[in-house]
Amino acid sequence: MGYIVESLRVMFGGAPRKPDPEKITVDAKDIHVHKKDNPFDKAEFDRIYEEAAQNPAPHKWRNRRWITLILVNMLFVVSFFFDVQILEGALTASRFVGFHMADLNSALQVVLAYKIVVLNLVIGFVTILVMWILLGGRTFCSWVCPYHLVAEWAESLHLWLAKKKIVRDRPLKRSVRTVLYVIFALLAFASGYTVFETISPTGILSRALIYGPGLALIWVGFLLLIEVFYSRRAWCRYICPIGITYGVVGTISPLRVKYNLKNCHHEGDCRKICLVPHVLSMTIKGRADAMDMDVGADCTRCGLCVDICPTDSLVFEVKGLGKHLKNDNKK
């Protein structure tokens, strides 16, 4: 229960808390003391990173994720183009071999706007709810959402420009996303119209891929320009309510990223590449309150931190099964 409450608090905009000294486990205290008295040697750092650089699959989870995301979205395209009726519709609402599926956030918007609940919507909602409970909630964002992929590429350009000192990141308050979530819900209820779906780059890109481009892509391009030149990953980090919807689902998901304090060298590379670095606050030296900790539900399970960690301090885990999904080729 503590994990769920803290995950929700941080996801809705709260700052990660420093550990209560009285609640730090004995094992974690011993590790903190040991690391303080025996700081890591630079030569050891260099050796570990040299070995990691020789890893033949340094982007294993990222590549798996990109392939999955592209295949899912292309299945929509192929089904429509060849009229094979495998995966019909778009990401907001679809049918898989005739079985209804409905994006959770879109379904909530529809109910608020039209004040009715139809059977097909319930079936689609429950199907997707169960699926993303099993797969990790915000896993949808990084493994399925087409905007996440193009925003990831835009982020690479932003980081290159920032390295050249041409642009700089301007972080916004994470609580803005929660405020906008409420605003979009109220707008749908008051107007009888699914306002958010009109401006959602997820839906716009999904429909553009399947049915052809339209003027709405100008809005998507505008968002990407903001993310390249003004605020890194602004839409996904600070605006999109879809992340909150699936994040809430992710609080009870068995698929999580697990952090191990003993293995960590606290170099911080995981936080540098993370879309939601606040969920990795326990990787800061002295911040972990247990030997093993689950990363919060706002995590998109993108695998970037798992890929980059040279000591397997961060791994995918299926709770209850004790299964660790590691980078097999790491030393």
Q: Which helix (H) or strand (E) holds 100?
A: strand 99-102
The tokens 């193009």 sit on which residue?
A: 150
Q: What does the pLDDT look like over 157-211, one tens digit per residue?
A: 999 999 999 999 999 999 999 999 999 999 999 999 999 999 999 999 999 999 9
Q: Evaluate whether 195 touches 184 at the Cβ level (below 8 Å).
A: yes
**Mean pLDDT computed over every residue of the chain:** 91
**pLDDT of residue 13 exceeding 90:** yes
Share of the chain above pLDDT 90, in %: 81
Distance separating alpha carbons of residues 98 and 264, to the nearest angstrom: 47
As a whole number, mean pLDDT of residues 109-119 equals 94
Sign of CA dihedral 140, 145, 149, 152: negative
**CA gap 215, 231 in Å, rounded:** 24
**Structure-model confidence comparison of residues 243 and 1, the more confident one:** 243
pLDDT per position as a tens digit, 256-304: 999 999 989 898 999 999 999 999 999 999 999 999 999 999 999 999 9
Does residue 42 have a pLDDT over 80? Answer: no
Sequence letter at residue 35: K
Cα 188 to Cα 110, 118, 154, 195, 214, distances in angstroms: 8, 17, 30, 6, 24
Question: What average pLDDT does the segment 68-90 reach?
Answer: 94
pLDDT digits (tens, 9 = 90+) for 308-330: 998 889 999 998 776 566 555 44
Which DSSP letter does residue 281 get? G
d(CA 247, CA 141): 10
Over residues 224-237, the mean pLDDT reads 97
Whole-angstrom CA distances from 200 to 221, 235, 290, 313 are: 12, 10, 39, 35
Q: Where are the domains of the chain?
A: 1-331
What three-state secondary structure class fits 244?
helix
What does the DSSP 8-state code read for residue 254?
S
Answering whether pTM is above 0.75, one says: yes
| Residue 331 pLDDT greater than 60, yes or no | no
Calpha distance 87→81 (Å, rounded): 11
Q: What SS3 class is residue 294?
A: strand
Spatial strand order in the sheet of 323-325:
292-294, 255-260, 314-318, 323-325
How many Cα atoms are found within 13 Å in the side-chain-facing hemisphere of 8?
9
